């Protein structure tokens, strides 16, 4: 497991969340000033400097439930409100989209280009806010510094860690089904055509060498695909042609997006112990994170009437039906987070911090609670 995976997971899932929210804001004809406020508030919270500094520290991935709680809080960092059915659908779309992107990366290193595509698109969503744009550019620089010098093997470990995180996630998404990149069982279709990874050759030729390293024979074979050489490598600079299209906004063309649980996912969910009977440690981690997230800076509307509900479904009837038909094992409990800095919360936070304190163990063996505290502290 790579300890450099969390920033890439968080930023890419956050990018997909912003794509979806932007599409729904347009679909519901939300006034432009309100829509801009929603996106600006969420991006500003997501790219908070202190939060990013802690996020980039080497650490293991958090549990799926803990990460889901982060995005639940992030989605409500502005004036919109999502009920549980819409939040479930939002998270499903986010995770399936990024899983597809990781699977389809020609090279492990290209997951960084996918991340840059997300950051480029996010900058387009908040282009009228120079201060927030600067936050995104600072994160880009951090990505370049941390990941620019990693080897191919280290990127492969990151890719494997991401795929393990998404393992057994087979949710059908209408866009992928219509584009025929996903089968009816929720599994993705691997292509046998298109450009090969940059730095590699089109398959079809076997070269044989002698003990001196001299080429002595070549044999051609039919590979059964329709491959071409990559035209050029994508740019890893702040501004440039990424070449790779994975990670760009697939909702830029307005079309309805539906999600469905495959039979395999339903069966698997019924067997998932974490969902049915969470162990005390996992539950404590989630509760601890929920309390910490209460300290995140949130833009509260001055006028309570300014807030509005966002629906991820075409109609309220569809939303209600989705809430009724979704397997209970795959729904996440809604956590109400008190964001006010009151005395009771401070005492509770101090108590939880004390439970996670380790006096005799070295720093690197500290519990995940300390990592969570470091990630969200003082926001």
pLDDT at 328: 58
Whole-angstrom Cα distance, residue 341 to residue 138? 29
CB–CB of 123/136 below 8 Å? yes
Q: How far is CA 54 from CA 47, 63, 379, in A?
A: 11, 17, 11
What is the DSSP code string of 155-169? HHHHHHHHHHHTTT-
Among 200, 194, 66, 37, smallest CA distance to 126 is for 37
Give the rounded distance of the alpha carbon of 302 from its chain centre. Answer: 31
CA 282-288-292 angle, to 5 degrees, is 145
pTM: 0.76
Query: What are the backbone dihedrals phi and psi of residue 73, each rounded to the nearest 5 degrees, phi first?
Result: -65, -40
Cα–Cα distance for residue pair 379/373, rounded to 1 Å: 11
Task: Give the integer Cα–Cα distance in Å for 93 and 91.
Answer: 5
CA distance 298 to 300: 6
Sign of the dihedral through C-alpha 219, 224, 230, 235: negative
DSSP string, 216-254: EEEEE---SSEEE--SSPPP-SSSS-----TTS-TTSS-
Count CB atoms within 10 A of the CB of residue 280. 7
Angle 13-68-4 (CA atoms, 0-180°, nearest 5)? Answer: 55
Q: How far apart are CA 25 and CA 27, in angstroms?
A: 6
Residues 6+ apart with CB under 8 A from 207: 215, 217, 218
Using CA atoms of 201, 204, 207, 208 in order, give the dihedral in degrees to the nearest 10.
150
Q: What is the pLDDT of residue 267?
A: 46
Q: What pLDDT does 78 receive?
A: 85
Q: How far apart are CA 20 and CA 251, in angstroms?
A: 7
Tens of each residue's pLDDT in the chain, 379 residues: 899 999 999 999 999 999 999 999 998 888 989 999 999 999 999 999 888 988 899 988 888 888 888 898 888 888 888 888 888 889 999 999 999 999 999 999 999 999 999 999 999 999 889 999 999 999 999 999 999 999 999 999 999 999 999 998 899 988 899 989 999 999 999 888 889 999 999 999 999 999 999 999 999 999 888 899 998 999 999 999 999 999 999 887 655 555 565 544 444 444 343 333 444 444 444 554 544 444 455 455 555 545 767 767 666 666 666 666 666 555 554 434 333 444 555 555 555 555 544 444 444 444 444 444 445 444 5
The torsion defined by the Cα of 320, 321, 327 and 328, in degrees rounded to 10, comes to 30
Q: Which residues have C-beta within 8 Å of that of residue 371, sequence separation ≥ 6?
A: 57, 59, 60, 62
């Amino acid at each position: 497991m790579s300890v450099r995976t969390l920033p890439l997971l968080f930023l890419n899932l956050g990018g997909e969340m912003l794509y979806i929210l932007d599409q729904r804001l347009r679909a519901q004809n939300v006034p432009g000033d309100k829509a801009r406020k929603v996106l600006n508030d969420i991006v500003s919270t997501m790219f908070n400097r202190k939060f990013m500094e802690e996020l980039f520290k080497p650490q293991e991935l958090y549990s799926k439930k803990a990460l889901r709680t982060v995005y639940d809080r992030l989605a409500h960092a502005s004036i919109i409100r999502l009920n549980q059915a819409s939040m479930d659908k939002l998270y499903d779309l986010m995770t399936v989209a990024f899983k597809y992107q990781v699977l389809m990366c020609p090279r492990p290193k290209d997951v960084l280009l996918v991340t840059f595509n997300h950051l480029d698109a996010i900058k387009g969503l908040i282009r009228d806010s120079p201060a927030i744009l600067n936050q995104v550019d600072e994160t880009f620089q951090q990505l370049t510094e941390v990941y620019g010098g990693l080897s191919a093997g280290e990127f492969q470990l990151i890719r494997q860690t991401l795929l393990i995180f998404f393992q057994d996630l087979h949710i059908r998404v209408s866009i992928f089904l219509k584009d025929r990149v996903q089968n009816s069982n929720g599994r993705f279709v691997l292509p046998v055509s298109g450009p090969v990874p940059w730095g590699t050759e089109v398959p079809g030729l076997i070269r044989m060498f002698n003990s001196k390293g001299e080429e002595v024979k070549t044999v051609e074979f039919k590979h059964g695909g329709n491959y071409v050489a990559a035209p050029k490598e994508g740019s890893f600079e702040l501004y440039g042609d990424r070449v790779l299209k994975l990670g760009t906004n697939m909702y830029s063309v307005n079309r309805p997006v539906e999600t469905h649980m495959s039979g395999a996912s339903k069966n698997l969910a019924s067997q998932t112990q974490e969902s049915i009977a969470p162990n005390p440690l996992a539950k404590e981690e989630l509760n601890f994170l929920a309390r910490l997230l209460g300290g995140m800076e949130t833009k509260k509307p001055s006028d309570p009437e300014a807030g509005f509900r966002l629906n991820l479904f075409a109609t309220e009837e569809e939303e209600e039906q989705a809430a009724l038909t979704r397997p209970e094992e795959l729904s996440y409990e809604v956590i109400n987070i008190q964001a006010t800095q009151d005395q009771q919360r401070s005492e509770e936070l101090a108590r939880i911090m004390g439970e996670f304190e380790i006096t005799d163990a070295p720093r690197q063996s500290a519990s995940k609670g300390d990592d969570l505290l470091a990630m969200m502290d003082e926001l």
